[in-house]
Amino acid sequence: MIIGHHATWDVYGCQPSQISFQSDIEALLTTIVRELGLTGIRSGFKQFQPIGVTGFILLEESHISVHTWPEHGFVALDIFSCKPFEAAAVSFMLERELRCDQIVLHQMSRGKLPEHLSLPQERR
């Protein structure tokens, strides 16, 4: 049994205009959450001056978070979820929205439990 699915993206060569401001980054994360069929609970974002953003959306399933470095054309994004999701779809959205040169995706399973430690199906 796998409890969680965790993916991280290192996104290089982004257009600075696409990753500099909170409204754009918040809209991107909101779109990702919606497209993956996840459920947002609460969010928090910080606009750095003059440019750059950090933020997160707390999910019913866990979280999505981001930090941007427009001066380097770089974005670090991660999603952790108890619900499986399609990481390739996120990569496609990032490439399309951020107009980047390179995306490095890392995926891992979290909480690999042997069956004897798992709760019965009716308690999940």
Side chain identity at residue 93, one-letter code: M
Task: Judge whether 23 counts as a catalytic residue.
Answer: no
| Residue 30, domain CATH | 3.60.90.10
Q: Which listed residue (6, 43, 65, 82) is catalytic?
A: 82
CA distances from 97 to 14, 54, 80, 83, 122 (A): 9, 17, 21, 24, 41
**Two tokens at 109?**
């399973």
Q: How far is CA 10 from CA 65, 95, 119, in A?
A: 12, 11, 35
Does any domain span residue 102?
yes
User: Does residue 119 lie in a domain region?
Assistant: no
Q: Is 62 a catalytic residue?
A: yes
Q: How far is CA 74 from the centre of its chain?
A: 14
Would residue 118 count as lying in a domain?
no
Task: Report the distance separating Cα 121 and Cα 68, nearest Å.
Answer: 40
Range of the domain at 8: 2-64+73-112
In a domain, 11, yes or no: yes
Q: Are 25 and 98 in contact (CB under 8 A)?
A: no
3-state secondary structure 63-75: EEEEEEEHHHCEE
Whole-number pLDDT of residue 124: 46
Instruction: Indicate whether 43 belongs to any domain.
Output: yes
Number of independent structural domains in the chain: 1
Residue identified by tokens 């999940």 is: 124
> Catalytic: which of 67, 81, 91, 100?
67
Q: Which of 6, 43, 62, 63 is catalytic?
A: 62
Retrieve residue 58's tokens: 């707390």
In a domain, 121, yes or no: no
Tens digit of pLDDT per residue, the chain (124 long)? 889 999 999 999 999 999 999 999 999 999 999 999 999 999 999 999 999 999 999 999 999 999 999 999 999 999 999 999 999 999 999 999 999 999 999 999 998 888 776 666 554 4
Report yes or no on 99 lying in a domain. Answer: yes
**Position 123 in a domain:** no
Nearest of 98, 103, 84 to residue 9 by alpha carbon: 103
17 is catalytic: no
